[in-house]
Amino acid sequence: MIFEPNSLFQQANFVAGAWRHEGRGDPLAVQNKYSGELLAQIPLATQGLAGEAVNAAKEASASFKTWSAGKRAQHLGLFLKELENGAEALARLICAEAGKPIDFARAEVARSLENIENARVLAGQYSGELVGVDFGHSQGKIAYTLRVPVGPVLAMTPFNFPLNLALHKVGPALAVGCPVIVKPSPHAPLTALALAGLAARAGYPKGFVQAICCENALAQSLAADPAIAMLSFTGSAAVGWHLKDICGKKKITLELGGNAAAVVDETADIKKAARRLALGAHIYAGQICISTQRVYAVEAVFDNLVEKILAYTKELVAGDPAEEGVQVGPLIDAASCQRVAAWVDEALAGGAKALCGAKVIDKAKNLYAPTWLTNTSRDDKVVCQEVFGPVAVVEKVADFEAGLAAANDSVYGLQAGVFTNSLERMKQAHQTLEVGAIIINNAPGFRVDSMPYGGVKDSGFGREGALYAMEEMTHPRLVVF
């Protein structure tokens, strides 16, 4: 085993400040995604244990809301130190349970530390606003708002960024005074359990940060529980929108999937565009919700762009994610590898052309080759759905406007990349593209953790990024005197 599990977590759920080993049915077996080695067996929470977690969060909420901004910031600083002390162990844990190449796992941990530091700073600064009422019948009065925590937050997190995407929810919650229960993906739950344990080491009282693994039915009942004030979910569109339907009146944030597009025009730096698109489509086996999936290049640069994209793609290293320099690791499980292969084969059968890849490298390891397709149809699954694998399409368009239209031809709208050196076209893209963010001269997968992150259409509801999540997790209470 490449890490010492007991230094980060126990093979148990973390509820009300303690590791709880009881469970129901067969435990959740968590394996190394490349070697298949058994990493841990986590008991699935019972209904009773989940109820204890909710009650602990309710009790914690009553005391947490009395904490001063300074105390909240201080404890986030202590939490940050615990994360820093465990940084390398966390990176190796992410590499093992999520199959993320070790270089990218370390980068995720580094981003997570920045994320908590940002939440720490904001905790000490975040407040309401002065409201102008000194006129008319309220002349002489003063009014201001106080941002009040909504209460317990249920954070449902995915496997692909098991630390940073959890902290995108946990950090803001702790910054404003909301207890949080993390329900991680069963593919990679150990990092979230470690996170809860580290929060306890940092001095957070019981119920402030909890983590449980459970079956889907129990997770849904937790989401619908009226004692949970807010659901913050990152995952698939189908599951996210279903949870919104059953959550009733509670606050909800959905960070969902996409089939991110990039548009390349004749003014772009083609060499730079090609390199960034090759990386953006395939690193971490494309298992990023803003991974580049569709590229639309104007006719004048199409051949040159494709030539350079393929050259850069050939340089990508696929294999054991624990080895330094590997960029493309395994897909999360055999079913995902089979699905990606089936979608590519279906596109090829319908007339698409494979420019590279389009095959399984190692079935036993769930390794799929970095793949570029062209001559696809808008109805091919590799185009209209979210591949979540190392597969992208590149197509020729008549002009920049046609590229923007093709990018918009999607039920998703998370982020898009635009490669151009024309200021007018940058403005045109900003006005036209139906997405949450437009990334200029970079792949759609660019993200700074402090920015407002989220999508439109089927890609989500609400925004993350510490400040924006803090707004989602609070409501303004007005006083006039």
H or E segment at 252?
strand 251-255
pLDDT tens string, the chain, 481 residues long: the values are: 444 545 799 999 999 999 999 999 999 999 999 999 999 999 999 999 999 999 999 999 999 999 999 999 999 999 999 999 999 999 999 999 999 999 999 999 999 999 999 999 999 999 999 999 999 999 999 999 999 999 999 999 999 999 999 999 999 999 999 999 999 999 999 999 999 999 999 999 999 999 999 999 999 999 999 999 999 999 999 999 999 999 989 999 999 999 999 999 999 999 999 999 999 999 999 999 999 999 999 999 999 999 999 999 999 999 999 999 999 999 999 999 999 999 999 999 999 999 999 999 999 999 999 999 999 999 999 999 999 999 999 999 999 999 999 999 999 999 999 999 999 999 999 999 999 999 999 999 999 999 999 999 999 999 999 999 999 999 999 999 9
Which pLDDT belongs to residue 6?
A: 54
Q: Which pair of tokens denotes residue 58?
A: 């309710």
C-alpha to C-alpha distance for 196 and 82, rounded to whole angstroms: 11
Tell which phi-psi region holds residue 200, choosing left (phi > 0), alpha (psi between -120 and 50) or beta: alpha
The residues spanned by each domain of the chain are 5-256+459-480, 261-449
Kindly list the catalytic residues: 255, 289
C-alpha to C-alpha distance for 90 and 106, rounded to whole angstroms: 8
Which pLDDT belongs to residue 7?
A: 78
Which pLDDT belongs to residue 213?
A: 98
Q: What share of the chain is helix, strand, coil (3-state, %, to 5)?
A: 40, 20, 35
Taking the model in full, what pTM does it have? 0.96
CA 417 distance to own-chain centroid: 18
Decide: 352 and 375 in contact? Cβ < 8 Å: yes
C-alpha to C-alpha distance for 320 and 302, rounded to whole angstroms: 33
- At the top level of CATH, the class of 5-256+459-480 is alpha beta
Q: What are phi and psi of 177, to 5 degrees?
A: 105, 30
C-alpha to C-alpha distance for 240 and 461, rounded to whole angstroms: 9
Helix axis angle for 299-315 and 270-282, nearest 10°, is: 50
Decide: 175 and 123 in contact? Cβ < 8 Å: yes
Q: Which pair of tokens denotes residue 363?
A: 């079935």
Cα-based distances in Å from 48 to 25, 28, 53, 262? 14, 18, 9, 48
Q: What are phi and psi of 134, to 5 degrees?
A: -80, 65
Which pLDDT belongs to residue 481?
A: 95
- Cα angle 91, 84, 199 (rounded to 5 degrees) comes to 95
> Tens digits of per-residue pLDDT, 211-251?
999 999 999 999 999 999 999 999 999 999 999 999 989 99
Site of tokens 């330094």: 324
Site of tokens 């893209």: 429
C-alpha to C-alpha distance for 401 and 404, rounded to whole angstroms: 5
C-alpha to C-alpha distance for 374 and 21, rounded to whole angstroms: 51
How many CA atoms lie within 13 Å of 373's alpha carbon, on the beta-carbon side?
Answer: 32
Tell which phi-psi region holds residue 52, choosing left (phi > 0), alpha (psi between -120 and 50) or beta: alpha
Decide: 277 and 262 in contact? Cβ < 8 Å: yes
Q: Does the domain made of 261-449 have the CATH classification 3.40.309.10?
A: yes
CA dihedral 52, 238, 160, 12 (to 10 degrees): 20
C-alpha to C-alpha distance for 448 and 452, rounded to whole angstroms: 9
Site of tokens 């996409």: 258
> What does the DSSP 8-state code read for residue 6?
G
How many CA atoms lie within 13 Å of 191's alpha carbon, on the beta-carbon side?
Answer: 36
Please give the single-letter amino acid code of residue 65: K
Which pLDDT belongs to residue 1?
A: 43
Strands, DSSP E only, in 90-221? 130-131, 143-149, 153-156, 180-183, 209-211
Q: Residue 298 pairs with which residues in a beta bridge?
A: 397
